[in-house]
Amino acid sequence: MHTNSIIELNKKAYQKNISFLKNTFGKKVLLSSVVKGNAYGHGIKEFVLMAYECGVTHFSVFDVEEAKIVKATLADKAIIMVMGLVQDEDMEWVVANHVEFFVFDKSRLTKATRVAKKLHKKAILHIEVETGMNRTGFEKKELNSIIAFLKKEKEYLIFKGLCTHYAGAESIANYYRVEKQIKRFDEIYQYLWDNDLKPEIKHSACSAASIMFPKTRMDMVRIGIMQYGLWPSPEVFVNYLNSKKSKIDPLHRVITWKSSIMSVKKVNIGDFIGYGTSFLAERKMKIAVVPIGYSHGYSRSLSNQGRVLINGQRCIVVGSVNMNMMTVDVTDIETVKKEDEVVLIGTQEDLTVSVASFSDFSNQLNYELLTRISKTIPRKIIE
């Protein structure tokens, strides 16, 4: 097991985020916790357990592999919805375990029906429609065929939801494109109604859309990044603040990533540090070696610019980030020794390394940065 570092999940912070989101959306809107990408790097097994204890009972995943982890962790206590990949060979497990799933092509629809008939169980479907994202979803011209199929096979299929996904709701640059999508989605929903076919729920909003376009909340929101205490973009955060008297961030970061110093050594003036010649010591230096590198998810692009916290001080990464370790300038820390705590993401005394500042230095999105954190790092829930 990896013992170089640990990920801590703050349960109180998560509870505050969920309470804020539920209060924002209202009691009639169901919140689905999106835990794809190893729960955005937080650790899917530990995260869903914590989320369930905080009152979350609906989880959205990308594929069946993730669905099986949620199922093994929570058994039948929660609803699981697969938004992406369901291989044909996995369809029997999905239907048998009452796992809900997106359907966006005819082959999956027919496969689900065949399996449902074989198992004598109903497949629970969310029909995804194309509204302008141009990724997955049935085209408008396919609707009549889909309507006829769902009516014909209603004995074996539950039309649980109608859904779509917006193309960049986090940016005002996409405003008109998203507005067109909302209009198309409403038109499709009405068309189904006019043809005597109604889903139990309709849903379309991710974190960004739920804040930037409140009308997209509908019956359910699929909340990813915001439940983890992060905003989809600065624009979404500013948009929220402009709508409120209080200018305090209501979200609380859930994740903390900690390691410890492996060794401390001195470097002479004029010497290079690490591979190559990217960092030259312009004074006598003291460096700490930290056993974290790009194989653990600490990006190589943070070489010579990443920040960590040691003994209540902000320290800069010097030299190249290696596969399994990195070097940090601790010259100005009077007392520093092996096994001292190193905070990669989180707070130490009065200082914080946020995910946003972390990603600013590496030109990575919050999402990309988090999902790259190694799955082998142990996750621990902090009450």
Place 71 in a pLDDT band, splitting at 50, 70 and 90: very high
Q: What is the mean pLDDT of residues 155-160?
A: 98
Q: What is the mean pLDDT of residues 68-91?
A: 98
pLDDT beyond 80 at 253 = yes
Q: What is the mean pLDDT of residues 230-237?
A: 92
pLDDT beyond 80 at 22 = yes
The pLDDT value given to residue 340: 98
d(Cα 205, Cα 169) in Å, to the nearest integer? Answer: 9
Q: What is the mean pLDDT of residues 93-113?
A: 98
Q: What is the mean pLDDT of residues 74-88?
A: 97
Q: What is the mean pLDDT of residues 345-362?
A: 82
β-strands 313-318, 307-310 pairing: antiparallel
Q: Can you list the pairs that 197-201 forms with residues at least 24 positions away whose Cβ atoms lie under 8 Å?
A: 197/147, 197/150, 197/151, 197/159, 198/159, 199/126, 199/127, 199/159, 199/160, 199/161, 199/162, 200/158, 200/159, 200/160, 200/161, 201/30, 201/160, 201/161, 201/162
pLDDT beyond 90 at 361 = no
pLDDT beyond 90 at 318 = yes
Tell me the average pLDDT of the chain.
96
Binding residues for substrate: 135, 323
Place 356 in a pLDDT band, splitting at 50, 70 and 90: confident
pLDDT beyond 70 at 112 = yes
The pLDDT value given to residue 362: 59
- Which residues make beta-bridge pairs with 307? 316
Q: Which domains does the chain have, with CATH numbers?
A: 11-242 (3.20.20.10), 255-353 (2.40.37.10)
* Residue 234 vs residues 178, 228, 356: alpha-carbon distances, Å: 18, 16, 10
Q: Indicate which residues carry an active-site annotation.
A: 36, 275
Quote the percentage of the chain above a pLDDT of 70. Answer: 97
pLDDT beyond 70 at 149 = yes
pLDDT beyond 60 at 363 = no
pTM of the entire predicted model: 0.95
* Residue 205 vs residues 130, 209, 216, 311: alpha-carbon distances, Å: 14, 5, 5, 42
Place 369 in a pLDDT band, splitting at 50, 70 and 90: confident
3-state secondary structure the chain: CCCCEEEEEEHHHHHHHHHHHHHHHCCCCEEEEECHHHHHCCCHHHHHHHHHHCCCCEEEEEEHHHHHHHHHHHCCCCEEEEEEECCHHHHHHHHHCCCEEEECCHHHHHHHHHHHHHHCCCEEEEEEECCCCCCCCECHHHHHHHHHHHHHCCCCEEEEEEECCCCCCCCHHHHHHHHHHHHHHHHHHHHHHHCCCCCCEEEEECHHHHHHCHHHHCCEEEECHHHHCCCCCHHHHHHHHHCCCCCCCCCCCCEEEEEECCEEEEECCCCECCCCCCCECCCCEEEEEECCCHHHCCCHHHCCCCEEEECCEEEEEECCCCCCCEEEECCCCCCCCCCCEEEEEEEECCEEECHHHHHHHHCCCHHHHHHCCCCCCCEEEEC
Q: What is the mean pLDDT of residues 302-306?
A: 93
Place 364 in a pLDDT band, splitting at 50, 70 and 90: low
Q: What is the mean pLDDT of residues 72-84?
A: 98
| Least reliable range by pLDDT among 32-46, 203-217, 237-251 | 237-251
pLDDT beyond 70 at 360 = no
The pLDDT value given to residue 367: 79
pLDDT beyond 90 at 246 = no
Place 142 in a pLDDT band, splitting at 50, 70 and 90: very high
Quote the percentage of the chain above a pLDDT of 90. Answer: 92
Q: What is the mean pLDDT of residues 319-328?
A: 97
The pLDDT value given to residue 297: 94
The pLDDT value given to residue 295: 96
Place 245 in a pLDDT band, splitting at 50, 70 and 90: confident
| Least reliable range by pLDDT among 69-73, 81-85, 228-232 | 228-232
